[in-house]
Each structure stands twice: as structure tokens, then as C-alpha cells.
Amino acid sequence: LQTLPPVDLAEKYFQIFPEEMDPLWQNPCHDKRHKDIWSKEKTCDRLPKFLVIGPQKTGTSALHSFLTLHPAITSNFPSPVTFEEIQFFNGPNYHNGIDWYMDFFPFPSNVSTDFTFEKSANYFDTEVVPKRAAALLPRAKIIALLINPVDRAYSWYQHQRAHQDPAAINHTFHEVVTAGLSASKELLTLQSHSLKPGTYATHLEHWLVHYQLHIVDGALLRSNPALVMDGIQRFLGVTPIFNYTQALVFDEGKGFWCQRLEGGRPKCLGKSKGRKYPEMAPETRAFLTEYYREHNLELLRLLNRLGQALPTWLREELQSTS
């Protein structure tokens, strides 16, 4: 039997098993061998009970803020880099390991009815995320928000304009979504981030391999958040049932539902949520409605298969193309 010093041994090991160089973190307490070497000082429960996975621009910040009004629901500590979002499962942060992730969550209380969660909106359409999430959080509940992908794409474009993305500043939305493969790299990146998350069924199928999802109509969250929040509370099984009709107020100036403070004053999300921008050009809307037709049909079949209600915007989109 031969052996080597630790670093050489690790190098040898990964030469033989290169596929294991990319870790797949699991809960240390789910395997006795791992639990035995996991520090006694640590807990395995400093992990979220549910995830809001996005996609971006569907109302995820509004949902996040409404959830945190609930007395039994707690979000992660905010990340100094990505604002409130941790973005653990989707990118380089994953290689920081489980301790890094757990540090974003409060120590678990003894109350089993307490719910911690995190919202990272680009989890939805990053293919590796469902597998990674399921390895560490096999019992987590998952919430996805869907709005008309045409509007989602336009909202993303406006978001990038507000962030001074040169591709968004120098090109109309129509140019962005219709650009061909010979366009600049910057333009194609913007096009991809505008269009790809909206192919909902493809992304949802990756999640459905590992989880049952609660799929929320983001348009309904916008128009009737109290109704949507009741459905989410039932899905989570969280108690007490919090009365969102009392907790929220519609702000005419903002044009959105906001938190109702003492005395009835509204506390709304900041300027970057619910931006004012011109209507989408009708020819661009028509182009995108056609672009998403097959994807929306896939979504229709998927929702029917799951026995889930169809969002109004999906019915309307499919009617306008049939």
C-alpha cells in the first residue's frame, strides 16, 4: 500500500477522479461519515427552509419584502456584494463552501414553525442550481414567479439602461431582441439576458427533476398581493396566517402595493422597482409574442400536467397567437 503527502495525494486523487473537482455540497448531518467529522460547535440547521428562485424582474423584491413582514418568516442577512441576495448556488460563491453560506442565516431558533429563506433571482435559469440546491436542501420549498416573458424581457432591458449598460443605451429594445449572430458580443449578451430567462418551461423542467414547485403568477402578485400571499402561506404551511390585506396598502403615486406603516402611510420599494418607462413598441411586442409562442405552449402543457392554474397573461398570449 502506497501513500503520498496530503497535497500530492489530493492531486493524484483528482487526476483519477477529475469529475469530483467540482464539489456538490450536501448537508453534513445527512450522512454519518460526514457528521462524525463535522465540528461539534456547528449546527446543520443554519440553512433556509425555502428559496425564492426568480427569475429576475418578475417582482421578486416585492415578494421578498412582503414575506419578511410575516412574524414567522426571516430572510438571510444581506450580502454586502450583491445587496440582499446571496447568490450561492449559481456562481463562484458556491466554492466558498457551506460555512460561508450558513453564515448568512441566523442560528435556528427552537421554534420549528420559524421559516428562514433566501431569494436569489438568477437561481431560476442557471442550469446547475436545482441539482446543487437539492443536494444541500433536499426538503426546501421552492417558489418561482412568472410574468409575461415579453414584459420581463423589456423590464430587464430598462434595468440595464438604468445601469448604463452601453448596449442598452445605444440600441433600441427592438434592435436588442432582433439582433443576429453577427452583432457585437455586448449586444448578444444583453439579448441573451433579456430573452433566455423567459423560456420558462425549459428552466422549470430542471427544477421539477428535484422539487415540487409553487409557481406564482407575478402579474397577480402585482395586482392582488394579499391573495397571492395567502396561497404562499398555505404552500409553506407557515403559522400564524398573517393578514396581508391589513399589512399592505396601494400607493396611487407609485402605482404599486406597498407596506402599510403605522397610521396607514405606505412604505414602498425604491425607485429601481416599478420604473417608469415608455410602452413597448407594438411591433416589438408582436415579434416577442411570436418568439415565445412555442415556449409558452410548453409552459401551458407543463402547468396542465402539474394541475396548476394558468396565469391570465399566458391565456392572453396564446390567444393572440392562435
Catalytic residues: 57
Shorter beta-carbon distance to ligand A3P: residue 56 or 233: 56
Is residue 69 a contact residue for ligand A3P (CB under 6 A)?
no
The verdict on 70 binding ligand A3P (CB under 6 A) reads no
| Binding of ligand A3P by 148 (CB under 6 A) | no
174 scored as a contact of ligand A3P (CB under 6 A): no
Size of the site for ligand A3P (CB under 6 A): 18
Is the CB of 56 or the CB of 194 nearer to ligand A3P? 56
Check if the beta carbon of residue 145 is closer than 8 Å to that of residue 54: yes
Residues 32-61 that bind ligand A3P (CB under 6 A): 56-61
Of positions 256, 291, 292, 313, contacts ligand A3P by CB under 6 A? 256
Task: Examine residue 226 and tell whether it contacts ligand A3P (CB under 6 A).
Answer: no
Candidate segments 20-28, 73-81, 188-196, 271-279, binder of ligand A3P by CB under 6 A: 271-279
User: Residues 88-127 vs ligand A3P: string with x where CB under 6 A?
Assistant: ---------------------------------x------
Q: Would you tell me which residues interact with ligand A3P (CB under 6 A)?
A: 56-62, 121, 155, 158, 221-222, 256-257, 269, 273-275
